[in-house]
Amino acid sequence: MTQFVLISEVGPRDGLQSLKSIMPTAAKKAWIEAEAAAGVREIEVGSFVPPTLLPQMADAAEIVAHACTIPGLTVAALVPNLFGARNAIAAGAHKISLPLSVSETHSLKNLRRSHDQVLDEVRAIAALVAEQPEGKRPHFEGGLATAFGCTLEGAVAEDQVVRMAAALIEAGCAEVGLSDTTGYANPAQVKRLIRRVRAEVGAQRLTGVHLHNTRGLGLANALAALEEGITTLDASLGGIGGCPFAPGASGNIVTEDLAFMLDSMGLDTGIDLERLLAVREIVKAALPDEQLYGFTPDAGLPLGYRGGWGLGPTSSSHSPSTP
Amino acid sequence: MTQFVLISEVGPRDGLQSLKSIMPTAAKKAWIEAEAAAGVREIEVGSFVPPTLLPQMADAAEIVAHACTIPGLTVAALVPNLFGARNAIAAGAHKISLPLSVSETHSLKNLRRSHDQVLDEVRAIAALVAEQPEGKRPHFEGGLATAFGCTLEGAVAEDQVVRMAAALIEAGCAEVGLSDTTGYANPAQVKRLIRRVRAEVGAQRLTGVHLHNTRGLGLANALAALEEGITTLDASLGGIGGCPFAPGASGNIVTEDLAFMLDSMGLDTGIDLERLLAVREIVKAALPDEQLYGFTPDAGLPLGYRGGWGLGPTSSSHSPSTP
């Protein structure tokens, strides 16, 4: 298992795009700043989709540009097509992700494109990325949505996930990710699919997974992924988000709970838990009508908590408080 | 990892004893019957404590006797002392568990006894168990409460957990269990502590763990335990329960979510998920003022779900519905 785990915060994109409320631009900036200050090293800050479709994301370019001024932060954006990719790159995004739904039914509903059409788009984006001057070339990831099952099709064949992973790499993605868009995944499946996709495209081309907590298995699935050598886990502050086009699917993994789990296991996330928990106040204030999720925020940190909880046989029963 | 996992339902004991509401005896019986009919093979049905302390458990003897009429069900009961053990055995319990809080502060608050006093009680109960005619001799387990940390003491030294496990076996318990009474556990700690205790007392003397979901890590911890070879996991229908003497600690693992996780991983629990989910209605009706928890009950089973979700590379994208 890796020692450093990158938590990639997707709340400002995946979270906000699922909500009816539109978060003001200033609040988005404050949220991103505060979360970066708490030690989060990568944030997906927006989606470059037409504002007519997702008015929540109308300020994506401004948000990306602002986030890029934060030192040490990897700024990611979702792009559904070449047009979006062009705008994301112009705004300065360090990383762009294009989702491909392994379930073609979901692909047609979500992106209004067949697999072949999505792969054409991937090739065009890859060419655009390659044209960028060195240092301005974003990391281009293809996200395999509905990789663990689909609310429209049901089970999704693993062979098909593996084929689509290979197709994305072939079409020019630097990396693929596995997304449990619908919250159908279980730990055994997570392990099996990571192994199969890595066997096909190489371990260095699958380093991250995007999991939901729809059926409460989010952190168990995250643990399974870590045990397979995954080093990047997506999560959303307060668990907001899901997928508006997958009925019944909701609930990203809660960043706070994930960060607590990893920290207590003695893994390094770079995140200060107390500061991370405080970021909720910014989100709450900006989204007064929305529910935030998470267990650790309600329960608080354990008494006398310090990272690497209970590590080692000599841990005292009267440990000092977190410094 | 084991192929059959025993889910031990603790709701009628750990769940109900934490609530202000008192569930009528008839409703308890209906709950236990329905859950056994759904395939749950072990249920902790009550606690033999003075009714003045826990009026919710005043009907424990009647409930045990009734549960013992259900074929194939292992009927477990909690006993705080020799007096309780005598009554539990008289009622016919197949399994009795006595909690020993590794945190002595918690032990004094919870059972009003020091470690030495609890161990004296264990010896007396072990003698009582040994006196029973063969076939009537209950399995006697010592539960190591606050094994992963204590809301009163903070961190709990692993050496102390190992010592107390050895002391319980030495005093006559057939087996020990590890309890995350306070919801402080993380997967790395779960694995480490299971390994250490098993190294001390033998693997066959630690087969079960009792985990809470206080910080959302319940199922991740359950997965960690399974990976260490644990074969029995406690859980509570609707996640009711916790520990009334550990302030801030609440939330057993939700039976429904755990059963879904195991079933979807292709493990055998003997449980019919649809029937298990239906049992919630009985509990809801009997506890109209209490909140039930769980994600799977809200989200429902995946479309076209059948156990062992996504197992095998040839799983079709249009699988048949659960038969």
The residue written with tokens 């996992």 in the block is B5
Closest partner residue to B304 (CB to CB) among A155, A257, A296 is A155
For residue A156, list chain B residues with Cβ-Cβ distance below 8 A.
Answer: 310, 315, 317
Q: Which residues of A touch B224 (CB under 8 A)?
A: 223
Nearest to A223 among B223, B312, B314 (CB): B223
Q: How many residues does chain B have?
A: 323
Instruction: Provide the pLDDT confidence category of residue B315 given band limits of 50, 70 and 90.
Output: very low
| Annotation says B173 is catalytic | no
Could you tell me the pLDDT band of residue A243, with boundaries at 50, 70 and 90? low
Q: Do A158 and B266 touch (CB under 8 A)?
A: no
Distances (CA, A) of A200 to A126, A195, A206, A209, B313: 20, 9, 10, 16, 13
Decide if A217 and B219 are in contact by the 8 Å CB cutoff: yes
- Nearest CB to B303 within list A154, A214, A303: A154
CA-CA distance, A8 to A252, in Å (whole number)? 12
- Cα separation, B113 vs B160, in Å, equals 17
| Averaged pLDDT, A70-88 | 97
CA distance A263 to A270: 9
Tokens of B193: 């502590």
Residue B233 bridge partners (DSSP): B7, B209
How high is the pLDDT of residue B242? 63
A181 contacts in chain B (CB < 8 Å): none
Query: Would you say residue A236 has pLDDT above 60?
Result: yes
- Where residue A95 falls among pLDDT bands split at 50, 70, 90? very high
pLDDT-derived band at B309 (thresholds 50, 70, 90) equals confident
Average pLDDT estimate for A119-129: 98
Q: Hey, which residues 82-121 in chain B have their CB within 8 Å of chain A?
A: 103
**Is the pLDDT assigned to residue A220 strictly greater than 80?**
yes
Question: pLDDT, tens digit, for every residue of A245-262?
Answer: 445 456 899 999 999 999
pLDDT of residue A312: 42
Predicted confidence (pLDDT) at residue A85 exceeds the cutoff of 80: yes
Q: Domain A6-299 - what CATH class?
A: alpha beta
Q: Where are the domains of chain B?
A: 6-299
Residue B18 DSSP one-character state: T
| Residue A189 touches chain B, beta carbons under 8 Å | yes
Chain A interface includes B231 (CB < 8 A) = no
Contact (CB<8Å) B223/A224: yes
| B216 and chain A in contact, CB less than 8 A | yes
- The pLDDT value given to residue B311: 55
Q: pLDDT category, B110, cuts 50, 70, 90?
A: confident
Q: Does B196 touch chain A (CB under 8 A)?
A: yes
Q: Is the pLDDT of residue B308 over 90?
A: no
CB B156 to CB A311 under 8 A? no
Burial of A92 (0-12, 13-18, 19+ CB in 10 A): middle
Q: What pLDDT is attached to residue A102?
A: 97
Supply the DSSP symbol for A169. Answer: H
Mean pLDDT, residues A176-192 taken together: 96
What average pLDDT does this structure show over A224-244?
Answer: 90
* pLDDT score, position B322: 32
Query: Which tens digits make up the pLDDT trace of B63-74?
Result: 999 999 999 999
Residues of chain A contacting residue B310, judged by C-beta atoms under 8 Å apart: 148-149, 155-156, 158, 184, 186, 189, 192-193
Note the maximum CA span of chain A.
61
A123 touches chain B (CB under 8 A): no
Of all residues in chain A, the one with the smallest CA distance to B265 is A188
> Which pLDDT belongs to residue A311?
55
pLDDT of residue A125: 98
User: Which of A66-75, B204-213, B234-243 is predicted with the least confidence, judged by mean pLDDT?
Assistant: B234-243
Q: Is A307 on the interface with B (CB under 8 A)?
A: no
Would you say B79 and B143 are in contact if contact means Cβ atoms under 8 Å apart?
Answer: no
- pLDDT > 60? residue A281: yes
Rounded average pLDDT over A7-24: 93
What are the residues whose beta carbons fall under 8 Å from the beta carbon of A187, sequence distance 6 or more?
A: A217, A220, A221, A223, A224, B223, B261, B265
Q: Is the pLDDT of residue B304 over 50?
A: yes
Partner-chain contact B257 A215, CB within 8 Å = yes
Which residue has 């709950």 as its token pair? B31
Using pLDDT thresholds of 50, 70 and 90, give the confidence band for residue A290. confident
Tell me how far CA of residue B152 lies from CA of A189, A260, B99, B115, in angstroms: 39, 20, 17, 16
Average pLDDT score over residue span A43-50: 96
Q: Does residue A319 have a pLDDT over 50?
A: no
- Biggest CA–CA distance in chain B, Å, is 61
What would the mean pLDDT of A230-254 be, rounded to a whole number? 79
Cβ atoms B9, B237 nearer than 8 A: yes
Contact check, Cβ <8 Å, A188/B150: no
Chain A residue numbers with beta carbons less than 8 Å from the beta carbon of B254 are 216
Residue A318 is predicted with a pLDDT of: 35
CA B175 → CA A265, B204, B205, B263, distances in Å? Answer: 27, 8, 4, 27
Q: For residue A97, list its beta bridge partners.
A: A78, A141
Which positions 58-77 of A are in contact with B (Cβ < 8 Å)? none
Q: How far apart are CA B266 and CA B275, in angstroms?
A: 18
pLDDT in tens, B85-109: 999 999 999 999 999 999 999 999 8
Reported confidence tier of residue A242, pLDDT bands at 50, 70, 90: low
Rg (CA), chain A: 19
Residues A28/A45, Cβ–Cβ less than 8 Å: yes
Measure the CA–CA gap between B145 and A264, rounded to whole angstroms: 19
Q: Give the pLDDT confidence score for residue B288 in this predicted structure.
A: 92
- Asked if A217 lies within 8 A of B310 by C-beta distance, the reply is no
Taking CA–CA distances from B182, the nearest residue in chain A reads: A302
- Measured CA to CA, the distance from residue B181 to residue B242 in angstroms comes to 7
Residue A252's pLDDT is what?
92
Statement: residue A195 has pLDDT above 60: yes
Confidence band (pLDDT; 50, 70, 90) for B250? low
- The residues of A assigned a catalytic role are 243
Residue A254 distance to chain B (closest CA, Å): 9
Per CB-CB distance under 8 Å, the chain A contacts of B253 are none
Q: How far does the CA of residue B276 sit from the closest CA of chain A (Å)?
A: 15
Q: Across A238-252, A308-322, B39-53, which has the greatest mean pLDDT?
A: B39-53
pLDDT at position A309:
72
CB A155 within 8 A of CB B304: yes
| Helices A60-67 and A25-37, axial angle in degrees (round to 10) | 30
- pLDDT tens sequence across B253-291: 999 999 999 999 999 999 999 999 999 999 999 999 888
Residues of A in contact with B251 (CB under 8 A): 295
Is pLDDT above 50 for A175?
A: yes
pTM over 0.80, yes/no: yes
The mean pLDDT value for A237-251 works out to 67
Compute the distance between CA of residue B286 and CA of residue B84 in angstroms, rounded to an integer: 26
